[in-house]
Amino acid sequence: MIRFKQVSKTYGENLALRQVNFEIKQGEFVYLIGPSGAGKSTIIKLLTREELATSGQVIIGNTDLSKLKDQHVYKLRRQLGIVNQQDVFLENRTVKENYQAVLGATGVAETEWLAKIKRTLDLVGLAAYLDAYPRQLSVGQKKRVAIGRAMLNRPKILLADEPTANLDPKTAIDIMRLFFRINRQQTTVLMATHDSTIVNTFMRRVLELEEGKLIRDQAAGNYNVFG
C-alpha cells in the first residue's frame, strides 16, 4: 500500500532523508519516531506530495508519486486523511460548516454532506457538536473534530503528525483509542510522534529515524530499545 524504495530527500544543502526503505501494508498501524529534525515531517510531506523525493521511489497503491501529474494530485489527496500538529479551523463556522467546506472542496455532492458529517461525528464521538463553534470545544474535542475532518471521505490512509502533543495523559489515551477504532476499520494509520508513553503503552510497529536514516523497523516496538 505504501512503499519507500531507496528514498533520499535534500532541501538545498540539507540531507533530510537518506536511502530510506520500508513498506506498510493496508490496515497497519505504524508509529514514526525520532528526534526533531530526523525526517518525520519529510516522510509525511512526500506521501502527500507536498514534496518530491530527490531520488528513489515513493509509491502509494500502484502510483509512483514522482510520476503523478500535478492535475491528478487531488486524487491522491482524496485517499489520504491528514491530521496536522496544529488544528486549524474556520473559527466563525460551526463544526458542520467546517466539514462542509472540506466536502465542497473535495467535490462531494451536496446531497451526501449531512449523512457523511453525521456518520463522521458518530465515529469521533461528537454527535452532539454539529452546531458547536471551535472555541466552544476543549483541546481534546478539537483534536477529535480534526481527526473527523480527515476521515470525512473515508481515506485508506490516515497520516497524523504529533496528535497527542499538548494533550493531558487521559485525553491522549482517548485520542489513541479513536485512532485504533479507525484502524480496525481497515484504515492504515501512520503517526509521527515524540510521545514515548503512548508508544510504550500501546505497542505497535515502530519506524525510527535518526538524521534522515531509518535505524529501526520493529513490530510492537518500544520508544527506546534500551529504555
Closer to ligand ADP by Cβ: residue 160 or 189: 160
Q: Which of residues 4-43 bind ligand ADP (CB under 6 A)?
A: 11-12, 14, 16, 34, 36-42
CB 204 within 8 A of CB 220: yes
Q: Which is nearer to ligand ADP, 126 or 214 (CB)?
A: 214
Helix (H, G, I), strand (E, B) or coil at 111: helix
Torsion, Cα of 30, 155, 141, 99 (10° steps): 160
Do the strands 205-210 and 29-33 form a parallel or antiparallel pair, or are they unpaired? parallel
* 151 grid coordinates: 476521515
- Distance in angstroms (rounded) separating the CA atoms of residues 143 and 129: 13
204 is an interface residue for ligand ADP by CB under 6 A: no
Query: How many residues form the binding site for ligand ADP (CB under 6 A)?
Result: 13
Least Å distance between CB 5 and ligand ADP? 19
In the bound complex, what is the minimum distance in angstroms from residue 16's beta carbon to ligand ADP? 3
Residue with Cβ nearer ligand ADP (95 or 162): 162
Length of the chain counted residue by residue: 227
Q: Is the Cβ of residue 40 or residue 49 nearer to ligand ADP in the bound state?
A: 40
Instruction: Taking each helix axis as running N to C, give the angle between helix 139-151 and helix 169-184, from 0 to 180 degrees, rounded to the nearest 10.
Output: 20
User: Closest separation between CB of residue 176 and ligand ADP, Å?
Assistant: 19
**Residue with smaller CB distance to ligand ADP, 126 or 161:** 161
Angle between the N-to-C axes of helices 139-151 and 113-123, in degrees from 0 to 180, rounded to the nearest 10: 130
- Nearest approach, Cβ of residue 146 and ligand ADP (Å): 16
Let me know: does 32 contact 193? Beta carbons within 8 Å. Answer: yes
In the region spanning residues 76 to 105, those forming contacts with ligand ADP, defined by CB under 6 A, are: 85
Instruction: Catalog residues that contact ligand ADP under the rule CB under 6 A.
Output: 11-12, 14, 16, 34, 36-42, 85
